Structure 1
Amino acid sequence: MVAATEGHQVRLLPEDEYTHEPGTAENYNESMYFNVFDAAKRAGAWFRIGNRPNQNYAEMSMCVYFSNGSVGFMFARPEIKGNAEMNAGGLKIEVIEPFKTLRVIYTGDLLVMKDPLQMSDPKVAFLSNPRLPCRMDLAYTGLSPMYGGEILKADGTPIEIDPDKSFAKAHYEQHCAAKGYIECDGERLEIDGYGLRDKSWGPRHWQAIEWYRWCPMNFGPDFGMMFNVMSDGAGGARPSGMVYRGGVYDDITACDLTSSWDAHEYQTHLSADIRTRSGKSYAVTGKVLSLIPLRNRRTTPDGQALTTRITEAMTEYHCDGKIGYGMSEYLDQIVEGRPMGRLAGY
Structure 2
Amino acid sequence: MDQADPYAFMPADDCYHELSDDPYETETNWWSFNIPARKIGCWLHTPYFPNRKTVTWRVFVWDNSGIDPVRMAYYRKAEEVPMEDGLDLRDITFPGGGYSLKMLEPGMKYHLKYDDPQRDFALDFVFTGCQPPHRAQPGEPPFMQSPHYDQLGRVVGTMTLRGEVIPIDSYSVRDRTWGPRGGPHNASPKKYESDLARVRNPGGPRWREIERERGRGRIQYIFGHAAGDDGFLGFVRPADGDASGWSPMNAGYVLRDGEFATLDKSKCRMRSYRDPQTGWCSHMEVELVDLKGRVMRAEGHAVSRMSEAGYGTNQLMRWEFDGKIGWGEDQDVWRGDHFERMLRALKAWK
Q: Which residue does 1:48 correspond to in 2?
A: 45
Q: What is the DSSP-based 3-state SS (H/G/I as helix, E as strand, rest coil) of the residue aligned with 2:22?
A: coil
Deviation at 1:19, TM superposition (A): 1.2
Question: Matched residues in 2 for 1:149 and 1:83: separation?
Answer: 28
Q: Which amino acid aligns with 1:49?
A: T
- Tell which deviates more after alignment, 198-207 or 170-179: 198-207
For the 8 Å contact 2:149–2:175, the answer to whether it is kept is yes
CA distance in structure 2 between the partners assigned to 1:342 and 1:82 by the alignment: 47
Quick one: percent identity of the two aligned structures?
A: 21
Equivalent pair of 1:44/1:64 in contact (CA under 8 Å): yes
Output the CA distance in 1 between the equivalents of 2:26 and 2:236. Answer: 22
Q: Which amino acid aligns with 1:100?
A: M
Q: 2:234, 2:253 within 8 Å by CA — same for their partners in 1?
A: yes
The separation in 1 between residues aligned to 2:38 and 2:249, in whole angstroms, is: 35
Q: Which residue is equivalent to 2:190?
A: none
Q: Does 1:176 align with 2:153?
A: yes
C-alpha contact 1:101 1:141 (8 A) present in aligned 2:
yes
Q: Aligned residue for 1:251?
A: 262
SS in structure 2 at match of 1:55: coil
Partners of 1:42 and 1:166 lie apart in 2 by: 30
Q: Which amino acid aligns with 1:183?
A: T
Instruction: Tell which deviates more after alignment, 225-234 or 264-273.
Output: 225-234
Aligned to 1:331: 333
Return the structure number with greater strand share. Answer: 1
Distance, in Å, in 2 between the alignment partners of 1:76 and 1:133 is 18
Residue by residue, what CA displacement relative to the aligned partner does 1:185-223 show, whole Å, maximum 9, x if unpaired? Answer: 321111112111111111112835611110122111211
Distance 1:140 1:339, change over 3 A: farther
Change (3 A) 1:342 1:220: farther
Distance change in 2, residues 1:267/1:337 (3 Å) = closer
Q: State which of 96, 101, 125 in structure 2 corresponds to 1:93.
A: 101
Tell me how far 1:261 sits from its aligned partner. 1.4
The CA deviation at 1:234 is 11
Distance in 2 (CA, whole Å) between partners of 1:140 and 1:60 is 19
CA distance in 1, matches of 2:268, 2:340: 24
Question: Are the equivalent residues in 1 in contact too, given 2:316–2:327 (CA < 8 A)?
Answer: yes
State how far apart, in whole Å, the 2-side matches of 1:68 and 1:151 are: 39
Whole-Å Cα distance in 1 between the matches of residues 149 and 62 of structure 2? 25
Moved more, 315-324 or 78-87: 78-87
The yes-or-no answer on 1:230 pairing with 2:237 is yes
C-alpha separation in 2, matches of 1:85 and 1:134? 26
Once the two structures are superposed, residues 272-291 of structure 1 have per-residue CA deviations (whole angstroms, 9 ceiling, x without a partner) of: 11121111221111111111
Distance 1:285 1:33 in 2: 25
AA in 2 matched with 1:225: F
Match of 1:140 in 2: 127
Superposed, 1:29-48 pairs within 5 Å as 29-48=26-45
User: How many residues are treated as equivalent by the alignment?
Assistant: 292
> Do the aligned partners of 1:168 and 1:204 also contact (CA within 8 Å) in 2?
no
Structure 1 position 274 matched with structure 2 position 277: no
How high is the TM-score relative to the length of structure 2? 0.73
Q: Cα distance, 1:333 vs. partner?
A: 2.3
Distance change in 2, residues 1:105/1:340 (3 Å) = farther
Deviations 1:65-89 (A, max 9, x none): 3487763222221222336245324
Give the alignment of 1:52-131 within 5 angstroms.
52-66=49-63, 71-77=73-79, 78-82=81-85, 84-86=87-89, 87-88=93-94, 89=96, 90-108=98-116
Superposed CA deviations along residues 106-138 of structure 1, whole A, max 9, x for unmatched, are 1237xxxxxxxxxxxxxxxxxxxxx82321111
In the TM superposition, what whole-angstrom CA distance separates every residue of 1:28-57 from its partner, at most 9, and x where no partner exists?
111111111234554332211111121232
C-alpha distance in 2, partners of 1:237/1:342?
Answer: 25
What's the CA shift for 1:328?
Answer: 0.4
Contact 1:108 1:135 in 2 (8 A): yes
The SS at the match of 2:235 is: strand
TM-score (norm 1): 0.74
Residues 217 and 168 of structure 1, relative CA distance in 2, 3 Å threshold: farther
CA distance in 2, matches of 1:14, 1:342: 48
Q: Give the SS at the match of 2:12.
A: helix
Unaligned runs of 5+ in 1: 1-7, 110-130, 153-164, 296-307
Residue equivalent to 1:213: 220
Q: Quick one: distance in 2 between partners of 1:71 and 1:24?
A: 38
> Structure 2: which amino acid aligns with 1:180?
G
Q: Aligned to 2:13, what secondary structure does the other structure show?
A: helix
Q: CA deviation at 1:330?
A: 0.6
